[in-house]
Chains A and B, each alone.
Chain A
Amino acid sequence: MGASELIAAQPSAGVAKGPVRRLLLSPPAVVGLCCLLLLLAGSAVNRNFLMPTYLLQQLQIAAFLGLAAAGLMTVILLGHIDLSVPWTITTGAMMAAAAGATYGPAWAIPAGLLCGALVGLVNGLGVALLRIPSMIFTLGANAVLQGLMVLYTGGHAPQHAATPLMHDLAVGRTVGVPNAVLAWAAVSVLVHLLLARTVAGRYVYVMGNSERAAYLSGVRTAQMTVVCFIACGMLAALSGVLLAGYSGNAYQAMGDPYLLPAIAAVVLGGTNILGGRGSYLGTVAGVVFIVLLQSMLAVLQMPEAGRQIIYGALILAMLLLYGRSAKVR
């Protein structure tokens, strides 16, 4: 029973509960409930909390985090991690602005996405072919990207502004709904369908559980790994493009504040950090939760110190609720 005992050390796969009860206790549901609680608590403090305009604005901000989290989730499902997201965001933003200014506005967004894809390709090759642990390779990649961007901008703020299209995408609205939210929704639908309903999506979960068994079953594991990292890179770059559009400009280290919240959102949403388990719906719920939390703390005018403490403590509390592994016996 040796191997199966080791397997049991991962979060328990099939807990025998009724289907309705399992749904209600599933991470996306729990997080969703916590989001509702946050909204109620926030509205107790400030009545504007529940107003549609405010909620839409929060969703808009959530879109930036959500795109990065979507890409990160794909990689985490594989059992890897991508620590180069911060500077991929920044690179995507800067390159988009630069391309827009140099080659014309139509080239901005494709250029940004292409950069993200290239970063993902390098990461994927390093992890899949050289078998370097993803944590350390993407860490190095992050440092290299920072070096490249510092070199490119000469250490100053980048000169090129975001193109009108970028701005429109980030800030504009269609039928009253922010475009950023629409973009996030479109990406989300795509990601969810890919993960839940396609062959490639199934392969991702299988590889996250056991790359060895996947390989011996004829899954092209190296190819899948590279594809997932490319997706993560592109989504991070897209997030950067939108962020640049939102603030009108790309700026140094603009991606740094997004890594840890993105990882937290993915894990809060029920994705196992070791890979192989998790639903995208949970990630979306996690992103919304974190954005609402940060916003509520801002509304409460909580100093940064208090925000950090509450943020960390809350994540731990929720994980202790549903993220625990079984005992190793």
Chain B
Amino acid sequence: MPEALLQLQGISKRYAGVRALDGADLTCHAGEIHAVLGENGAGKSTLIKTIAGVVQPDAGRILMEGVELRLASPNAARDQGIACVFQELSLVPDLSVAENIFLSRPPRRRGLIDAKAQQAQALALLDMLGCGDIHPKERVGDLPLSRRQLIEIAKALSLQPRLLILDEATSALSSEDVERLYKLLFELRARGVGCLFISHRMHEVKALADTCSVFRSGRRVDTFASGARSDAEVVQLMIGRDVAKSYPPKTGPAPWAQPAISVQGLSWRPELHDISLEIKTGEIVGLGGLDGQGQRELLLALFGVLKGVQGKVEVFGQARRDLAPHVCKQPELGIALIPEDRKTEGLILPMSIRENMSLANLPALGRMGVLSASAEHSAVARMVEQLRIKIGSAQDPVQTLSGGNQQKVVIAKWLMTKPRVLLLNDPTRGIDVATKQELYTLLRRLAAEGVAVLLYSTDYEELIGLADRVLIMYEGRIARTLAGDEISEHAIVASSLNVPMSVPNVSLNVSPGGREAATA
């Protein structure tokens, strides 16, 4: 039997007290597409980075075709024929597409980079991926995320690897792009290339993978041929216990509830067009639709971050034109935004948990501008207890916390301002199931206390389970409003694709972002 293409044995890796990998192992064969599944924090990304040479394991061996390797740097991995499509993209914004694709090993002529050959080869690769509309000389930083993901894939393919690794490489791709990518991967498989990929889209895993391995808490817990386990069994393997995701009962707004936010004809070129909506106190309104249809911009507009917004915005009956974050958090408006990227927008990673948590409501923690240390400490302690945030000490830098606990700190920060309107931008992305559960309960409790909640989620199960009403956005408009029993998977998917709901055979292979149960 031929040696496995890649073998990992007993890999361990610690990051400042957190054990990311704990004796992990993995075997991948040539001509095999191998899916790596697991919750966030299970160690998948760290595993991938070990193979790609980005981090060095504390212990363990890596073997390729039986030969032990030391992958001390990304280049060392590349020399061994390992190419990785990174989740956070390894593209340099100020260089062109062609320069980025051939960043590691450009074609050369007489010692200098051969720009013409580089451009021609880049075009060929882009054609293969079906994005011939991208000009190789375009600046990568100017392109949207979906194009940049394809360029990242082209970059990995340009190395003609023996082993291709994809770390959540399709999150922003359209369905056609994804179909084309599948074909490409099957071709590579036929040619004997091994492929390792991380994905949270179960349909993708079923469509692509030959073998699946499930990771939990830094170790591999199971490997099986694709299809050999049901979805529920897979989820159970990932979480390690039988947890059916349950949502708190929907209460909806009280009959006498007033509109908290009322929007009429909101436009912001080019992303938002003529949006009108109303959120009552005590209501959880969900925002859905495919990625990038304007949901993010709508939340930013309501928080006052965008300039040149047209239309009318009324907050608790008062028309406001002067919205800005510092205005929004004033008690008379009480609008809070949980932003998209908690690491760069919601938190200041090097600073302590205490300093992060008290940031939005700092003036209230003292008198006449002077801070009271005791007031700050007790406010923080109260929040930590209320939200059950697992911390060592409030002085620790917030970057030592897990994703779920970090998100809790962001939410705690805003809860300190006693908001009356809560805007959330995909708050459960990258969070473990237990924390998600707690967040759902928290949101419903806040709604019951009279807070108006607008929740954008890329997980349609969440929208179904949590929202009283769902607004589906398509190309910057509200395509459809679903309420109560109308909210179903079918309805959401159809509306996201802007397809009449009566059409029965809407394909679920195209993911509008239906993230599966216990995943990031």
Contact = CB atoms under 8 A, between A and B. Distances in A.
Direct contact, A vs B (beta carbon within 8 Å): yes
Interface of A: 1-4, 7, 10, 13-14, 197-200, 202-203, 205-206, 209-210, 212-220, 276-277, 329
A215 B350 contact: no
A328 to B, nearest CB: 11
Nearest to A3: B343
B88 interface: yes
A219 B362 CA distance: 10
B363 A215 contact: no
B215 to A, nearest CB: 16
A206 B88 contact: no
B326 A213 contact: no
Contacts of A198: 366, 369-371
A325 to B, nearest CB: 12
From DSSP, what is the main secondary structure of chain A's interface residues?
helix
A213 B305 CA distance: 12
Contacts of B81: none
Interface in B335-385: 337, 339, 341, 343-352, 355, 359-360, 362-363, 366, 369-371
Contacts of B87: 2
Interface in B72-118: 87-88
B325 A215 contact: yes
B328 interface: yes
A216 B360 CA distance: 9
15 contacts: A1-B45, A2-B87, A7-B349, A13-B351, A202-B355, A202-B371, A205-B351, A206-B348, A212-B344, A212-B345, A213-B345, A216-B337, A216-B339, A219-B359, A276-B350
A207 to B, nearest CB: 10
Nearest to A213: B348
B326 A219 contact: yes
B410 to A, nearest CB: 9
Give the 4 A-B residue pairs with the shortest CB-CB distance, closest first.
Answer: A2-B88, A13-B350, A218-B329, A3-B343
A200 B369 contact: yes
Contacts of A217: 325, 359-360, 413
A51 B341 CA distance: 58
Contacts of A277: 350
B350 A7 contact: yes
A218 B371 contact: no
Nearest to B350: A13
Contact of A199 (B55, B88, B351, B369): B369
Given A202-B362, A219-B326, A219-B359, A14 B349 contact: no
A302 to B, nearest CB: 40
Given A197-B371, A199-B366, A202-B355, A213 B350 contact: no
A218 B88 contact: no
B370 A197 contact: yes
From DSSP, what is the main secondary structure of chain B's interface residues?
mixed
B396 interface: yes
Interface string B20-52: 000000000000000000000000011001000
A203 B361 CA distance: 12
Contact of B347 (A13, A200, A213, A218): A213
B328 to A, nearest CB: 7
Contact of A213 (B46, B344, B370, B400): B344
Nearest to A209: B348
Interface of B: 45-46, 49, 54-55, 87-88, 305, 325-326, 328-329, 337, 339, 341, 343-352, 355, 359-360, 362-363, 366, 369-371, 395-397, 399-400, 413
Contacts of B88: 2-3
A243 to B, nearest CB: 32
A277 B49 CA distance: 31
B139 to A, nearest CB: 20
A206 B343 contact: no
A218 B416 CA distance: 13
Given A206-B359, A209-B348, A210-B344, A329 B369 contact: no
A114 B232 CA distance: 71
Given A202-B371, A214-B359, A216-B337, 12 more contacts: A3-B88, A4-B343, A7-B349, A10-B350, A14-B400, A199-B366, A199-B369, A209-B348, A214-B348, A216-B325, A217-B359, A217-B413
Nearest to A210: B348
Contacts of B360: 217-218
B403 to A, nearest CB: 11
Contacts of A197: 370-371
A203 B369 CA distance: 11
Residue from B54, B55, B359 whose CB has the most chain A CB atoms within 10 Å: B359
B326 A220 contact: yes
A122 to B, nearest CB: 24
A125 B395 CA distance: 35
Contacts of A14: 352, 395-397, 400
A1 B345 CA distance: 15
Nearest to B347: A213
Contacts of B325: 215-218
Contact of A206 (B305, B337, B355, B366): B355
A13 B230 CA distance: 45
A291 to B, nearest CB: 32
A108 B150 CA distance: 66
Contact of A209 (B337, B351, B395): B351
A329 B52 CA distance: 13
A62 B413 CA distance: 42
Nearest to A221: B326
A317 to B, nearest CB: 26
Contacts of B341: 3
Contacts of B362: 199, 202-203
Contact of B350 (A199, A209, A212, A329): A209
A213 B339 CA distance: 9
A219 B87 CA distance: 31
Contacts of A2: 87-88
Contact of B349 (A4, A205, A212, A214): A4
B326 A3 contact: no
B489 to A, nearest CB: 32
Nearest to B15: A1
B478 to A, nearest CB: 25
B346 A218 contact: no
Contacts of A199: 362-363, 366, 369-371
A137 to B, nearest CB: 22
Contact of A218 (B328, B348, B352, B366): B328
Contacts of B396: 14
A290 to B, nearest CB: 28
B344 A3 contact: yes
A200 B366 CA distance: 12
Contacts of B305: 216
